[in-house]
């Protein structure tokens, strides 16, 4: 028979908190605003709904202008 091993119980130090994650404000704006407009525009063009597609195109142009402005500012927002 082998010897019994003594179990040593010690307190482990707490882990460091995770590093905050950031993304550009422009990327979030594109994901939430521009991309859905582009998707609706493509669907309207496939269905040959040119009136709706024209208005969507104007909205896309304005949204992309704002996106370029946000890219230039390089504002960051926290995601996690």
Burial 27-66 (b: 16+ CB within 10 A, else e): eebbeebbeebbeebeebeeeeeeeebeebbeebeebeee
Q: Is residue 38 part of a domain?
A: yes
What is this structure's pTM? 0.75
- Tens digits of residue pLDDT in 24-43: 999 999 999 999 999 999 99
**Confidence band, pLDDT 50/70/90 cuts, at residue 7:** confident
Structurally, the chain folds into a number of domains equal to 1
Is residue 59 one of the residues assigned to a domain?
yes
Question: Per-residue pLDDT tens for 37-74?
Answer: 999 999 999 999 999 999 999 999 999 999 999 999 99
What range defines the domain where residue 55 resides? 29-78
pLDDT band at 1 (very low <50, low <70, confident <90, very high): low
């Amino acid at each position: 028979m082998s010897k019994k091993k003594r179990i040593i119980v010690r307190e482990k130090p707490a882990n460091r908190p995770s590093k905050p994650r950031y993304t550009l404000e422009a990327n979030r704006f594109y994901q939430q605003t521009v991309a859905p407009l582009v998707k609706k525009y493509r669907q309207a063009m496939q269905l040959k709904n040119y009136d709706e597609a024209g208005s969507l195109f104007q909205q896309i142009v304005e949204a992309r202008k704002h996106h370029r402005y946000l890219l230039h500012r390089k504002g960051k927002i926290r995601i996690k």
